[in-house]
Amino acid sequence: MTIEAKFHIDRGDFVLDVDVTLPFQGVTSLFGPSGCGKTTLLRAIAGLERHRDGFLKVDDMIWQDAKCFVPPHQRPLGYVFQEASLFTHLTVQGNLEYGFKRIPDTERKISLENAIELLGIEHLLDRKSDKLSGGERQRVAIARALAVSPGILLMDEPLAALDQASKQEILPYLESLHDELEIPVIYVSHTLEEIGRLSDHLVLLEAGRVVAMGPINEMLTRLDLSLIHGNEATAVIDAVVAEYDSLYNLTHLDFGDNAGPSHRLTVAHQALEPGSRVRLRLAARDVSLTLERQSGTSILNIIPATVNEIIGEEAAKVTVRLMAGNIPILSRITKKSAVELDLKPGKQVYAQVKSVVMIR
Amino acid sequence: MIFSDADFTALMITLKLAALSTLILLGFGTPFAWWMARSRWRFKFLLEAVVALPLVLPPTVLGFYLLMTLGPYGPLGALMKSLGGRPLAFTFTGLVFGSVIYSLPFVVQPLQDAFTAIGRRPLEVAATLRASPLDRFFTVAVPMARSGFLTATVLGFAHTVGEFGVVLMIGGNLPGETQVVSIAIYDHVEGLEYGQAHWLSGGLLLASFLMLVAVYAINRRFTVVKP
């Protein structure tokens, strides 16, 4: 259940040289600065650009090797471009049907109604594409790609061309795709906020090369990578709703690996069904450390953890990577505190989390 | 009846010539324009210059070379003779041949521009929606270039109706075979038959104007639709 991609693309002033194995499940983000080659890699995976000497195997299908090149229209994929690129000569309905009617009945796993409902575009079907807002257009483009029942969905910065309001309009739909469909997604973006909300895996590209890759929470908390620095440092944690405390309007959430001990976090409101999966964001600057469990504090979220790594990027502050079981979180404290608490790798501490934001 | 029988025949021949030439031009001009719009061949500019030649050449120059080619001693004329036919000069078929070359840029250029304006993106989208190259051409490129097709058809037709120099050189002036309206008008003026020249000229003027009005009106509606 993997995607093996090996490409060497030389354009003179730009060289993409990758040899990666990506998971064929969940959302995998290709992240990096503009010009790092993430879109080129995505287009090569789609077959929109043909490069010699490439190798591409998706699940058990060879899409490209020394002997063969499967043209894009024969690859069971869906592709969402940065600009919605709707067909202007067709209505919304016509756009949705374009791919759908080219799929044999037996391969249809997503009905047109499903796709329309998932993206909430029932009211737009009779419109011409030029009568839609940017956000609506991109929703139609996503539904159109889903209507071919793709085995994999490739998305090239689908939110980058949109204003902030339209982004916020679309993000919930992207999240619901993740939750309701089992289609692997490769998502290109240069915005960490989007990636933190949507992805399960992250591939970091720089100047045409893969610098690092791994699960999202691990990648975001790796201190040796240039992903998040200083005050912006953030960890994301996937958790499960344990119970809702109706007396105080609080929701208790459990996280942790299957084997190790489970940890609990509490957030206000959010009356969710027990068992629902949520994603939490813990900003490093909201996490403080104590050597003993504090009593008589207003802070509800206190997690036992082990110091894993410390780096001081600037004069007064350090970033501490902690392991709560095997889940990494970050804490940002003053250098003075780090010295006074005598923090070093392996030391047991308690992380006091001032605020937890549910981002999904 | 306003027109004499001879004028009416000339009118019919003109319309037949224009319709046939336009159809032939659309037939091979479409794939040619598509190729020109998509190709990255480095010497493509040479072909573009050749296609544009009829725009700048005096029709008599074009007609002269066509006469040399199609006449009994020209390469095509000789070929026709060896196949048991007759040279194409001074025949209706010869006129169609000349008109196709004469009106080539008026059909190919609007089509090429329209195909270029579509860009690669809609075709890439169609490819990711399972459309084969031929499928993409007919279901995306052609409908999106429809204003180009309209312009190409009307300009190709109208320009053929308006040709004079080429026809005079290779068609002669055979009533019922190669006499077209523009030459009939010339004949009327030569014979001081101004009344009939008026009717034919006025009719041609009005028809041309109406065709162009239709093109601009319809294209205006098309271009309002923005991507």
Q: Is A115 on the interface with B (CB under 8 A)?
A: no
- What is the per-residue pLDDT for B225? 41
% of chain A at pLDDT higher than 90: 49
CB contact under 8 A, A102 and B124: no
> What is the per-residue pLDDT across A182-207, written as a single tens digit (0 to 9) for each?
899 999 998 888 888 889 999 999 98
DSSP letter assigned to residue A128: B
Q: Is A240 on the interface with B (CB under 8 A)?
A: no
Total tally of structural domains belonging to chain A: 2
The model's confidence at residue A259, banded by pLDDT at 50, 70 and 90, is: low
Q: Is residue A225 part of a domain?
A: no
Instruction: Tell whether the model's pLDDT for residue A18 goes beyond 90.
Output: yes
Rounded to whole angstroms, the Cα distance separating A326 from B180 reads: 90
Closest residue, chain B, to A89 (C-alpha) = B144
Q: Are A311 and A233 in contact (CB under 8 A)?
A: no
| pTM for the predicted model, two decimal places | 0.85
Q: Where are the domains of chain B?
A: 5-222
From A219, A252, A282, the end of a domain falls on A219
* CB-count exposure of residue A270 (10 Å: 0-12, 13-18, 19+): middle
Q: Is the dihedral of CA A151, A157, A161, A167 positive or negative?
A: positive
Residue to test with chain B: of A49, A70, A88, A152, most B Cβ within 10 A: A88
Instruction: Tell whether the model's pLDDT for residue A228 goes beyond 90.
Output: no
Q: Nearest C-alpha of chain B: how many angstroms from A183?
A: 16
How many Cβ atoms from other residues are within 10 Å of residue B21's Cβ? 27
Task: Identify all chain B residues contacting A129, using CB atoms and an 8 Å cutoff.
Answer: 227
Q: Is A69 on the interface with B (CB under 8 A)?
A: no
Instruction: Tell whether the model's pLDDT for residue A169 goes beyond 90.
Output: no
> What is the per-residue pLDDT across B18-72, written as a single tens digit (0 to 9) for each?
999 999 999 999 999 999 999 989 999 999 999 999 999 999 999 999 888 888 7
Which residue range is the domain that position A248 belongs to?
A: 234-358
From A171, A195, A219, the end of a domain falls on A219
Verify that A157 and A257 share a domain, yes or no: no
Verify that A349 and A245 share a domain, yes or no: yes
Tokens standing for residue B73: 């001693």
* Cβ-Cβ contacts under 8 Å for B59 (sequence gap 6 or more): B102, B163, B164, B165, B166, B169
Verify that A201 and A303 share a domain, yes or no: no
- What is the per-residue pLDDT for B217? 86
Q: Is B123 on the interface with A (CB under 8 A)?
A: no
CB contact under 8 A, A73 and B128: yes
The model's confidence at residue A38, banded by pLDDT at 50, 70 and 90, is: very high
> What is the per-residue pLDDT across B177-213, written as a single tens digit (0 to 9) for each?
888 888 889 989 989 889 999 999 998 899 888 988 8
Q: Is residue A104 part of a domain?
A: yes
Is residue B189 classed as helix, strand or coil in its secondary structure? helix
Instruction: Tell whether the model's pLDDT for residue A36 goes beyond 70.
Output: yes
The model's confidence at residue A161, banded by pLDDT at 50, 70 and 90, is: confident
Rounded to whole angstroms, the Cα distance separating B211 from B157 reads: 10
Task: Identify all chain A residues contacting B139, using CB atoms and an 8 Å cutoff.
Answer: 98
Verify that A270 and A135 share a domain, yes or no: no
From A192, A219, A246, the end of a domain falls on A219
CATH code that applies to domain B5-222: 1.10.3720.10
Instruction: Tell whether the model's pLDDT for residue A258 goes beyond 70.
Output: no
Mean pLDDT over residues A143-161, rounded? 93
Q: Do the bridges between strand A185-189 and strand A55-58 make them parallel or antiparallel, or are there none, so unpaired?
A: unpaired
Verify that A180 and A263 share a domain, yes or no: no
CB contact under 8 A, A48 and B227: no
Mean pLDDT over residues A263-274, rounded? 82
Q: DSSP letter string over A307-323?
A: EEEEE--SSSEEEEEEE
Task: Identify all chain B residues contacting A74, using CB atoms and an 8 Å cutoff.
Answer: 130
The model's confidence at residue B222, banded by pLDDT at 50, 70 and 90, is: low
Q: Which of A46, A83, A87 sits opposite B128 (nearest CB)?
A: A46
* Cβ-Cβ contacts under 8 Å for B205 (sequence gap 6 or more): none
Rounded to whole angstroms, the Cα distance separating B205 from A318 reads: 85
Task: State yes or no: ipTM above 0.95.
Answer: no
> What is the per-residue pLDDT across A100-129, written as a single tens digit (0 to 9) for each?
999 999 888 889 998 999 899 999 999 998
Q: Do the bridges between strand A201-206 and strand A27-31 make them parallel or antiparallel, or are there none, so unpaired?
A: parallel
> What is the per-residue pLDDT across A329-341, written as a single tens digit (0 to 9) for each?
999 999 999 999 9
Kind and range of the H or E element at A56?
strand A55-58
Rounded mean pLDDT of chain A? 89
Verify that A22 and A46 share a domain, yes or no: yes
- How many residue contacts between A and B have a Cβ separation below 8 Å? 68
Verify that A40 and A174 share a domain, yes or no: yes
Rounded to whole angstroms, the Cα distance separating A31 from A277 reads: 24
Q: Is B42 on the interface with A (CB under 8 A)?
A: no
The model's confidence at residue B226, banded by pLDDT at 50, 70 and 90, is: very low
Residue to test with chain B: of A48, A82, A83, A89, most B Cβ within 10 A: A89
CATH number of residue A54's parent domain? 3.40.50.300
Encoded amino acid at B59, one letter:
P
